[in-house]
Amino acid sequence: MLSRYQHSIGIYGYDLDAIDSFMKKQEDRCHVGEISARELRNIRRVMKVMIDYVANDIIDTATTAYGTKFVLNEPFEAILAEYLASRTLHPNTKDDVVWAIRRFLYYLDQIGHKTLHCVTDEHVRKYLVLMSERLASGSLKNMMCYLKEFGKFARQNGYADFDFAPMFEVKVRRENKVYPILTDAELERTLAQIDTNTAMGKRDMAMIMLGLTTGMRAIDIVNLRLCDIDWLRGEIRLVQKKTANPVILPLMPKAGESIREYILNGRPECSSEYIFLTTKFPIRKFTDDTTFGYMFANMKEWRE
C-alpha cells in the first residue's frame, strides 16, 4: 500500500516525508469512513515497525498494552479481582464483564463512595439512567446482566449492605437491526465482479459462497481449517469463535466446489492448517474477520 502510494507521487525509496504524507492520507480516509479505526491503528503499527527497523536495525513487534480510563481505588480493585477469581468466564465474555463492573465501581468512586456498604437504590437508579442515555440497548442489557451477578456476589460475601442485584433485572428491549437483503439479480452482479481466473478471486469466491450458504460469521470463515471440512459427509465441523459452541453445518455443493477449486488451483503451497490465506508474502492466515469484511466494502458500487 505504501509502495503504491510512493510510486504514485514519484518516490521509489525509503522517505520519511512520504510516509508522513501517506499516514495523513490514511487518517483522512478513516475520517470519511473508507477504512476503519482498527485498520488505521494497524497501519500505524506497521509504519512504526518499519521506521524503527530502518533507524535501529531492530524489529520490535511487541503489542502495546492499553490501560483503562476506569481506574479504581484499592478496595474496589480487590473486590473485582476476587469476583473474577470466583468465576470461570470465556475470554471474550470476561472482557465485557470487567468493563461493566469496572465502569459501575468507577462511577461510585467518582461520587464519593469508597466501599459498597453505603450504596443505596438511589445510587443504582441514577447510574441506570445515566447508562441508558449513553449505551445502545444491546450493551445496556448485557451490562445489567453482568452487574446483577456481581450484585449477588457482593451481597453474599458481605461487601454490600444493600442487595442491589434485583435492580438490574429490569427488562431491556434489545433493538434488532433489519439488514437489507440482496436480490438474486444484485447477488449475481456482485459475484460477477470476482475474477475467478486469479488465485485471489478463487479465494474470495470460496469465502463469500461459504458465507452465503452457511451463514457463518466472518471470524469463523477466516479461522476455518482444512481438517474442519468432512468431504465424505459433506459437513463443516467447527467451534464458533464468539460462542465457543461446537456446530455442524452442511457443505452445500456450490460452496464445496468453490472451496475445492481454491484449494487445488489457487491456494499457496504452504504448511498452514488454515484454508484461506493471503496471496502476498508473507503467506499467512487472515489476522481477523476485518479483512474479510473489506471484500464487501465496495458492494454498494457493485450493485448500482
Residue 68: inside a domain: no
Higher per-residue confidence, 264 vs 44? 264
Tens-digit pLDDT profile for residues 151-202: 999 999 999 988 888 888 877 665 565 556 667 887 788 788 888 999 989 9
Residue 63: inside a domain: no
Residue 112 has pLDDT above 80, yes or no: yes
Q: Which residues contact 229 (CB under 8 A, 6 or more apart)?
A: 235, 236, 237, 251, 259, 275
Find which of 20-34, 58-72, 201-215 is predicted with most confidence, using mean pLDDT: 201-215
Residue 116: inside a domain: yes
As a whole number, the mean pLDDT across the chain is 83
Residue 176: inside a domain: no
Confidence (pLDDT) at 303: 44
In this structure, are 256 and 162 located in the same domain? no
Number of domains in the chain: 3
Residue 67: inside a domain: no
Q: What is the mean pLDDT of residues 223-242?
A: 92
Residue 130 has pLDDT above 70, yes or no: yes
In this structure, are 33 and 121 located in the same domain? no
In this structure, are 189 and 252 located in the same domain? yes
Write down the residue that cell numbers 478463487 correspond to. 202
In this structure, are 226 and 249 located in the same domain? yes
Q: 173-182, 204-213, 279-288 — which is least confidently predicted?
A: 173-182
In this structure, are 8 and 91 located in the same domain? no
Whether the CB-CB separation of 263 and 208 falls below 8 Å is answered with no
- Helix %, strand %, coil % of the chain (to 5): 55, 5, 40
Tens-digit pLDDT profile for residues 78-106: 999 999 999 888 777 888 899 999 999 99
Confidence (pLDDT) at 261: 96
Q: What is the mean pLDDT of residues 246-266?
A: 94
Residue 102: inside a domain: yes
End-of-domain residue from the set 12, 27, 56: 56
Residue 77 backbone phi and psi in degrees, to 5: -60, -40
Residue 61 has pLDDT above 80, yes or no: no
In this structure, are 162 and 213 located in the same domain? no
Residue 218: other Cβ atoms inside 10 A: 19
Alpha-carbon 248 to chain mean position: 23
In this structure, are 201 and 279 located in the same domain? yes
Q: What is the mean pLDDT of residues 122-135?
A: 89
Tens-digit pLDDT profile for residues 136-150: 877 888 899 999 999
CATH number at residue 93: 1.10.150.130
Confidence (pLDDT) at 177: 59
Higher per-residue confidence, 296 vs 213? 213
CATH number at residue 196: 1.10.443.10
In this structure, are 158 and 268 located in the same domain? no
Where residue 30 falls among pLDDT bands split at 50, 70, 90?
Answer: confident
In this structure, are 103 and 164 located in the same domain? yes
Residue 241: inside a domain: yes
Where residue 293 falls among pLDDT bands split at 50, 70, 90?
Answer: low
In this structure, are 106 and 205 located in the same domain? no
Q: Which domain holds residue 221?
A: 184-303
Q: Please, what is the angle between helix 74-85 and helix 91-110, to 10°?
A: 150
Where residue 110 falls among pLDDT bands split at 50, 70, 90?
Answer: very high
Q: What is the mean pLDDT of residues 257-272?
A: 94
Maximum CA extent, the chain: 70
Beta bridge partners of 285: 277
Q: Which residues contact 70 (CB under 8 A, 6 or more apart)?
A: 99, 102, 103, 105, 106
Residue among 169, 135, 139 at smallest CA distance from 152: 169
End-of-domain residue from the set 146, 169, 192: 169
Residue 178: inside a domain: no
End-of-domain residue from the set 109, 135, 169: 169
Q: What is the mean pLDDT of residues 34-45?
A: 80
In this structure, are 249 and 273 located in the same domain? yes
In this structure, are 235 and 140 located in the same domain? no
Contacts of range 218-222, beta carbons closer than 8 Å, 24 or more positions apart: 218/289, 218/292, 218/293, 219/288, 219/289, 221/276, 221/289, 221/292, 222/274, 222/276, 222/285, 222/286, 222/288, 222/289, 222/291, 222/292
Where residue 299 falls among pLDDT bands split at 50, 70, 90?
Answer: very low
* Phi-psi category of residue 236: left, alpha or beta, with phi > 0 → left and psi -120 to 50 → alpha: beta
Q: What is the mean pLDDT of residues 25-51?
A: 80
Residue 131 has pLDDT above 60, yes or no: yes
Whether the CB-CB separation of 285 and 222 falls below 8 Å is answered with yes
Using a cut of 0.85, tell me whether the model's pTM lies above it: no
What is the DSSP code string of 203-230? HHHHHHHHHHHH---HHHHHT-BGGGEE
